[in-house]
Amino acid sequence: MSNVIVHSLFSEFDINLFKTGKHFRLYNKLGSHLIEVDGVKGTYFAVWAPSAKSVSVIGDFNYWNAGEHELNVRWDASGIWEGFIPGVDKGTKYKYKIHSHNNDIWTEKADPFARFCEHPPNTASLVWDAPYDWKDKKWMDTREEKNGLDKPYSVYEVHLGSWKKKNGWESLTYIEMADQLVDYVDKMGFTHVEFMPVMEYPYDPSWGYQITGYFAPTSRFGKPEDFKVLVDKFHQKGIGVILDWVPSHFPEDAHGLGFFDGSHLYEHPDRRRGYHPDWKSLIFNYGRNEVRAFLISNAIFWLDHYHVDGLRVDAVASMLYLDYSREDGEWEPNMYGNNENLEALSFLREMNQEVYASFKGVQTIAEESTAFSGVTKPVHFGGLGFGMKWMMGWMHDTLEFFKKEPIHRSYDLNDITFSMTYAFTENFVLPFSHDEVVYGKQSLLYRMPGDEWQRFANLRLLFGYMFTHPGGNLLFMGGEFGQSSEWNFQESLAWHLTQYDFHSGIQEVIKDLNKLYKSNPALYQKQFSSEGFQWIEYNDKENTVITYLRKGEDPKDDLIIACNFTPVPRENYRVGVPKSTQLKLVFNSDETKYSGSGIGKKTLKPSKTSWNGHPQSVVMTLPPLAVVVYK
């Protein structure tokens, strides 16, 4: 006991906020902190363990012996144990040895607030600080202007461990990615990068979605300050950084949050609400004040300490519904007799309110797969308060349509056009994510029908349709050059394919679509408003062609888009247009530089022949399996 000096970073106000679930900067208080007390350097430790009989810090500094450095329990019934240990410095490995009042159980846990962790499979926490001289002031000062809902949102989704390998098997470090990945994303023209979870996780096949170190960038690729370098370099290139964030569940690993102090501390004690049958993981107790404070503090932490620009919140649907993935009798209705998880709804609203109140120019994005209403509506209007939501219905319907042989597509044109009936009910991002290229679903390229030429033409058409459809865009790595195999988290992307014309052609398409998207206000200014879209023709089943307008604030920016979903060129195809001015071709997915056939007219002069409800029209030549965009 004498080895631990009584000391606290908590004020009475901090404790009151913590107990009421309103302390959203807990990372400044809980965890391990390098400080100086009365001229002596060491580390202050604080951990929440209300069911504990005793809590000791064990580590390489005391040969992992419990009892030598026992923390002091606070007198205020907060359940916090704390104390200052002299001489413990940066890099020290440690855990908490907890003796519980609950059946005299002992647990040995990593620090929930650790800033750095041992490289898996090792599980200790490390005393760490990560001072860093940020060089992204220009980005941070102007982020609000670049990261808004009326700005381009083209996202490159990345799994850091498998984007590229060196020596055939070894992942790049954060520092190496700060050169290679940043330059690549910049060259391809994406506005944002999204990382699958970077928080520390024990099991590689989970891809990071089973987190044990919520406040620590994974040590697989380097130190916390190295990850800051990566974020900083993206910002210096004007590229926003989005992190996948997982408040929906956590693993039962012995060193993790589960049964932390010998009680159900972080997880809901009722197995019907505290255990996820699909992922064999535990579900947070969203009704417990301290747990809410932990999670919201974690969201704030990444935006605060790592300058992150957005959080994509994973598996929101699993949080919203008490009966998610459960059979009758395996769940209990809420107080109103329905299936909504009221505590989770309240948590998500509070999290979004705090994020948007605390940081300018950030976004939260919901991965929510149901028709739950108001996900992106403001909280004060009864919504959940997210900035954007993944458009899972569009993704599913679009891929179902594209996998059909073109001869059958005319019967299912509604699969493509149906999305416009609900496209503006939320602020939607169109995702072709990692989930669509695993577990036997095949790569995007090999979901396309036909011979080699048709597969690539279909993929170019798919991307052109995606970028001209209202909403933001997200593409998982490898899709941008037409990777032929499914994604394998253990292997590098198949970069050798880019030496072949068809694959490099897909890369050029994505580059040009990003350029088109960013340089044409009609594609982003009103991307979440029905004012930004108008059908010209959505029911031409005979030709399997759709045509539509995209509109910006200035009518001079309007674009006319035509998609031909068959391998048959459409000569003399008449399209009604709203104005009599000449049209100029600004994108054609069939250009020869993409390995297309090069069919299509560069300019179009409208005639006074009324068509599609417009007083004038143009006659186009529509290339096979292609999208053309005119301005």
Render pLDDT for 205-259 as a digit per residue (tens, 0 to 9).
999 999 999 999 999 999 999 999 999 999 999 999 999 999 999 999 999 999 9
Q: What was the pLDDT predicted at 22?
A: 98
- With CA atoms as reference, report the closest residue to 604 among 570, 628, 630: 630
Q: What was the pLDDT predicted at 2?
A: 54
The set of residues, in sequence order, having a beta carbon less than 8 Å from that of 563 and lying 6+ positions away, is: 416, 461, 464, 465, 545, 546, 547, 626, 627
Residue 72 backbone dihedrals phi, psi, to 5 degrees? -100, 135
Place of tokens 């209007």: 381
Render pLDDT for 511-551 as a digit per residue (tens, 0 to 9).
999 999 999 999 999 999 999 999 999 999 999 999 999 99
| pLDDT at residue 29 is higher than 70 | yes
> Do the beta carbons of residue 186 and residue 178 sit within 8 Å?
no
Residue 416 backbone dihedrals phi, psi, to 5 degrees? -85, -40
| pLDDT at residue 103 is higher than 90 | no
Is 340 one of the annotated active-site residues of the chain?
A: no
Render pLDDT for 332-370 as a digit per residue (tens, 0 to 9).
999 999 999 999 999 999 999 999 999 999 999 999 999
Q: What was the pLDDT predicted at 539?
A: 95
Active-site option among 70, 261, 367, 480: 367
Is 314 one of the annotated active-site residues of the chain?
A: yes
Burial label, 353 (beta-carbon count in 10 A; 0-12, 13-18, 19+): middle
Sheet architecture: strand order including 31-37: 31-37, 40-48, 80-86, 72-73
User: Across the chain, what does the average pLDDT equal?
Assistant: 96
In whole angstroms, give the CA distance from residue 416 to residue 391: 13
Q: What string of DSSP letters covers 107-169? A: EEE--TT-SEEPPTT---EE----------HHHHHHHHHHSSTTS--EEEEE-TTTS-EETTT
Active-site option among 309, 314, 350, 590: 314
Render pLDDT for 288-303 as a digit per residue (tens, 0 to 9).
999 999 999 999 999 9
In whole angstroms, give the CA distance from residue 156 to residue 147: 15
Render pLDDT for 573-628 as a digit per residue (tens, 0 to 9).
999 999 999 999 999 999 999 999 999 999 999 999 999 999 999 999 999 999 99
Q: What string of DSSP letters covers 478-540? A: TGGGT--SPP-TTS---GGGGGSHHHHHHHHHHHHHHHHHHH-GGGTTTTTSGGGEEEEEEEE
